[in-house]
Amino acid sequence: MKYLFVVGRDRDLGVLEIVSFLRAKNINFEVVYSEKRFIVLEMNNFNSSVEEFGGIVKIGKRVNIEDIYFDKSKITYSVYGRDILEKLKKRFKEEGVKAVFRKYSDDPNNLDLEIIKIKEDTFQIVSVSNPKGYKKRDETRPKFDGKKVVSIRLAKILVNLSQARTELLDPFCGCGTILQEALLKNLDVVGIDKDISDARSNLKWLKENFSIKNSFNLIQGDARRLSSYLAKVEAIATEPYMGPFLKKIPQSEEAKKIAKELNVLYSDFFREARKIVKGKLVFVEPIIKIHMGEVNVGFEGILIKNGFKATIFTNAVNPIEYDLKGSKIKRRIWVLERFK
């Protein structure tokens, strides 16, 4: 059976997320078609919703126009691709359905029927993301600072990239966004931070307001001393401490000073992570923007020194740059594993 994925604004990240998600679930797949916004995969059985992803906007399933079922006599619809509008109109007429056309957009919407044609295949959208739903979950938690936390979208992506099946650690957990999204995916979570009070309030709130079956363990501590708290962990996903909050683009000297401090912190962290992580380590590397160019923290050297490498994916890029508009820091997202 063929499935269509409409990826969000960061295409490569969306693709890496799909591939990681399928690997974690042991689902075999073949890439049939891949272009800027649309990815078509052949798989035996897939019934996950868009809600399980952070970087996917819509999921479609291959259909024959003749087999489409209408459960209402009045619907709204849109189409993308050639030669299907007339066929669809014929079906509406046959079934006595009053159908109101809306122009196609990749953005999430509330249409009753969306049909996308790619090459010779016709897909019906079966799952659409709901960013407004996230926004509520994001902003109504007890501790929320839009400047500091990773977005729910990115947190979901990082959790999927980790390929964690049972357990995830965030060693710089801040207010716990990554932990929250991992709990909602039925993973046990461990969070470490110098100050766990915000994460504690948020996860307590999450347990009271959502049905969460798994457990969370928060440890007030130092990511540079990981192995003194934990003997092993299946997977790690983190957006680490990235230096002081920058109000404006720093001067070159200031950026270099921050980069040097981060190099020491990340080196200490990776040395400890090597001792405890069994599977993937997903890490967001900061690159500091300056007026003329950028300053990096020497990340690749840290990886080599501590025995980590980027996981190789045949169908996806790794690492991936992620540049938020207006941010003083550019991010590079890595899926890492230990050298054997």
Ligand X SMILES: C[S@@+](CC[C@H](N)C(=O)[O-])C[C@H]1O[C@@H](n2cnc3c(N)ncnc32)[C@H](O)[C@@H]1O
Q: Which residues bind ligand X (CB under 6 A)?
A: 149-150, 172-178, 192-195, 222-224, 239, 241-242
CB of 317 to ligand X, least distance (A): 23
CB of 93 to ligand X, least distance (A): 52
**How crowded is residue 212: how many other Cβ atoms within 10 Å of its Cβ?**
15
Output 91 or 224, the one with its CB closest to ligand X: 224
CB of 149 to ligand X, least distance (A): 4
- Residue number with the smallest Cβ distance to ligand X: 174
Output 41 or 206, the one with its CB closest to ligand X: 206
**How crowded is residue 253: how many other Cβ atoms within 10 Å of its Cβ?**
10
CB of 222 to ligand X, least distance (A): 4
SS3 label, residue 336: strand
Residue indicated by tokens 């959790």: 159
Dihedral over Cα of 137, 139, 143, 145: its sign = positive
Cβ within 8 Å of residue 75, ≥6 positions away = 97, 98, 99, 100, 112, 113
Give the gyration radius of the chain's Cα atoms: 22
Cβ within 8 Å of residue 138, ≥6 positions away = 144, 149, 151, 152
Output 118 or 282, the one with its CB closest to ligand X: 282
Rounded Cα–Cα distance for residues 119 and 259 (Å): 48
55, 7 Cβ separation under 8 angstroms: yes
Output 97 or 155, the one with its CB closest to ligand X: 155
CB of 239 to ligand X, least distance (A): 4
Output 62 or 224, the one with its CB closest to ligand X: 224
Would you give the end-to-end CA distance of the chain in angstroms? 36
Output 72 or 194, the one with its CB closest to ligand X: 194
Which token pair is 219? 């440890």
CB of 83 to ligand X, least distance (A): 46
